Amino acid sequence: MADRVATTGQVWLGLTLGCARCHNHKYDPISQREFYQLFAILNNCEEPQVEAPSQLNLERGDLERRATIRARIDELEKAFETRRAELESSQAAWEKTVTVQQRAQLPGPIQVAYDMPLAKRDAANKKLIEDYYRQTPHARTAFPVLDEIARLRESEPKIPRTMVLKERATPRETHVHKRGDFLNLGVKVDPATPAALHPLATAQPTRLDFARWLVDPDNPLTPRVIANRYWQYLFGRGLVETEDDFGLQGARPTHPELLDWLASEFTKPNDFSTKRFLRLIVTSSVYRQSSRRRPELEERDPRNEWLGRQNRLRVDAEIVRDLSLGASGLLTRDIGGPSVMPPQPEGVYAFTQDPKPWKAETGGNRYRRGLYTFFWRSLPYPMLTTFDAPNANVSCTRRIRSNTPLQALTLANDIVFVECAESLARRAVGDADRLFRIALARSPSPDERERLLKLVDQQRQAFAREPDLARQVIPGEPPAGVDRVELAAWTAVARVLINLDEFITRE
């Protein structure tokens, strides 16, 4: 819960509230008591899971079909209850046959219950053992009805579940945690917001009241923090460079009047429309400037704080993948749906303490946008972390951009980018200008065209000498009228273009 308070402060208020968890904030007017008053607002909810059937579930009648299946299971269970003595006898005989190796493969709680003498097992442990036994081949063979019940359970339609917030009827007591230790409770506190900010009129505020307080027109921070963050995303640096700290230790805005105006535009007409706000910025003359360096500004404004030109930025990790898929023509443009598992190097998870299953997608799901890539928090997709995707365990308000050899190796050798290079080559084989325009959105200069054609010729000769290598690069059939060696040569050139800094950089 303390992390939620800190994250809320960082994301919405641009304040380092987490610094007041153990003591009064050293710089900003936020006391430890006020930290736990905010804590109390968020601490009054439960998080039950509820079913959230999809539209497809509803259209297929999955809820009704599941109810029918469960009714049949109940009938079979009631009828089978008359044979309980047989079941217990069979289970006891099965337990005597379990070997040491088989016992070691039992789930932890089952092992604990199994090791207990029958007389010492309580109702919960007896149920654990019985439920496990009923799923074993021994039980399903001895009692065919159990096999039928198990098959019925397996055939139940899967209905998605989601966690929701539910306000408690009786408020939960919240105390100050002395030195941040939740085991060392101090004085009791009531829900409230920091006194240094605009007041929250409600005496016993709920999360909804708090949410309305965050976006209240009297709140000076939220619209400026969000406007500044979008500016940072589009220009590489915010008008307030310390985007997560608008407090006394934060940087002063380079353009305070502009930030005020952007905040008012973002909240006008009180809709907080991200799409409208982004359109406002990207259609402005300051955004549409060239990123070419201007010698006359080098001394006066070396960091480009006065925005005399656009900033040159390497795109985010997910967009690196999207650019390659888009240029290759492979990109699946479907919107929404579950996460997917694109291909990744074999054995990536073999060196981890907790290996994760990863079945590479086929068909269109293989080429979905990076946004939809399945993300294990403890074992994220390697390509994304190579290009500085943030740690999913903590909030991130600004991504760090690095430039490492591993990024170049990934673009050159990762299976996703190799497939993209082949597909890009198929789109423009034999046409250097077209290949260049697709990859870099501009025509090559005469010198670039000459070097490109020279590289094609070198690769063509190399693959002609080693046709087996060409078959490894192009395992499928080349287009009609195109030689495999020729396509392999153009694929090698496409790999070079995808690996260029210009390809992954927003000019």
Neighbours of 467 (CB within 10 A): 12
The reported pLDDT for the residue numbered 2 is 85
**Structure token pair of residue 128:** 């654990």
Burial 170-193 (b: 16+ CB within 10 A, else e): eeeebebbeeeeeeeeeeebebbb
**Structure token pair of residue 37:** 């008053």
The reported pLDDT for the residue numbered 344 is 87
The reported pLDDT for the residue numbered 222 is 93
The reported pLDDT for the residue numbered 146 is 92
* Distances, alpha carbon 295 to alpha carbons 235, 260, 292, 365, 506, in Å: 20, 31, 10, 47, 21
Per-position pLDDT tens, the chain of length 507: 888 899 999 999 999 999 999 999 999 999 999 999 999 999 988 888 999 998 999 999 999 999 999 999 999 999 999 999 999 899 889 888 888 888 888 888 888 888 888 888 888 888 888 999 998 999 999 999 999 999 999 999 999 999 988 888 888 899 999 999 888 999 999 999 999 999 988 888 888 999 999 999 889 999 999 999 999 999 999 999 999 999 999 999 999 999 999 999 998 877 789 999 999 999 999 999 999 989 899 889 999 999 999 999 999 999 999 999 999 999 999 998 889 999 988 877 777 767 778 888 999 999 999 999 998 887 888 899 999 988 887 888 888 899 999 999 999 999 999 999 999 999 999 899 999 999 999 999 999 999 999 999 999 999 999 999 999 999 888 888 888 999 999 999 999 999 999 999 998
pTM of the model: 0.78
The reported pLDDT for the residue numbered 111 is 87
* Distances, alpha carbon 155 to alpha carbons 45, 65, 146, 158, in Å: 35, 10, 14, 9
Taking the alpha carbons at both ends of the chain, their separation in whole angstroms is 41
Report how far residue 307's alpha carbon sits from residue 323's, in angstroms, rounded to the nearest whole number.
27
Report how far residue 167's alpha carbon sits from residue 46's, in angstroms, rounded to the nearest whole number.
6
The reported pLDDT for the residue numbered 171 is 84
Neighbours of 211 (CB within 10 A): 14
Q: CB-based burial of residue 383 (10 Å sphere; 0-12 exposed, 13-18 middle, 19+ buried)? A: buried
The reported pLDDT for the residue numbered 44 is 86
The reported pLDDT for the residue numbered 226 is 95
| 459 strand-pairing partners | none
Question: Who's near 394: CB < 8 A, 6+ residues apart?
Answer: 3
